[in-house]
Structure 1
């Protein structure tokens, strides 16, 4: 299997995915099954290429004092771009990144200069198994997991969000990257599901996406305490691309009629998947 870090391009086939790497200067972009999954600046760990990750970074910085080390759980790891940047801005944080593809989890440590354990641990596991079994207490939980370009159903149920809520500290932040399907129906389903466990919800996105004029990422924010929306809005307005913060009232109004999805609707039983966790 190829191991070179400095190739201009590289393709690797794991047992689960086709992974392509493209390097332009110091920017390394990782594609999983043809979809952009991660991009890291090999020379600058503080840099985030993807706009939606910049949105998560802004929300995190608004929620927590600058430089404060955090306990962060990443559901979906890929190249660990966000985890790498968080370590650069908040040294001594403790992070756990969950990547279902064990071979990819091993390869990214060879390709990218990532923080070593215990600052960043990478575990090969289904992210829902992590939610069902983890006993930690996390300041930040980021769900950025996809299968065939879509959010796995078992990560978007009422129970999945309830599990995340139980793992989050009282001052913590839950960030969800919602993309992969045309239209806003997936966003509103998740808004309704989040509302069963979280008191405070908001979204960050391009206004054209919110209005349904084009397809792209929507970042949902959920917390047990009020979200600093004015501060978040002030910072996202400074980004190069148009970006807005959508408040809870508008989201909940738009989500009226969206169907709540439960584990039973998709046939997920945590007890049946206890054996999926690696020893």
Structure 2
């Protein structure tokens, strides 16, 4: 579907198609027009598609995760042109301040504005690697995966920072290896995968785990339910990001660009919360 056809779509249908709102689309076009002016000064061949169609093609790739071949056939270009166009779109957006995450440094500041943050991890399936298959095999998912850690502000619902590793890595080990340092004034809420985090950060709330000899009391079950109702916000954010099928379907590309695409989709989520 070309951009001229999408003009007739309602706002809700446009978002269902592209995964973003129209104001976000317009902001991206303004960024690309400025970047394209700088690109032309360095020379190079003009792209066959207009800027709106190039962006629509990239969003369609992230949203539906079709192959480059099928997308190229839909837009009447070569497969290599589709690949280069989508890559340029991604690289240009991730460099712009409007589509950048606050980052780990924001959590260290005493006046960062975050009162309560939520930490959780999610997994995305990948194709079976040719080497080091054990490192990517997740016993929880029973398949090879990439694990992504998200830190979300409870009040604003924005993604502050992310970290990535192979699917076998434990959630708490990923947190320690990510070298995230949280200001002691910020309250942290996490699930049972982060047992031991309260030793690193005093203001941490974790659900109580039951054992065979020590079942949970009614008060502990109520406390766990209250924490679960607060942590569900992080699950909702993850579900919003995974509307883009490139994060939820089996990832076919090289793993080195997975983090870039995940951060870009998270930054788009943050931007749409502000408009």
Fold shared per TM-score above 0.5:
no
Question: TM-score category by the smaller chain?
Answer: under 0.3
- Higher RCO structure, 1 or 2 (CA under 8 Å, sep 6+): 2
Q: Which has the higher helix share?
A: 2
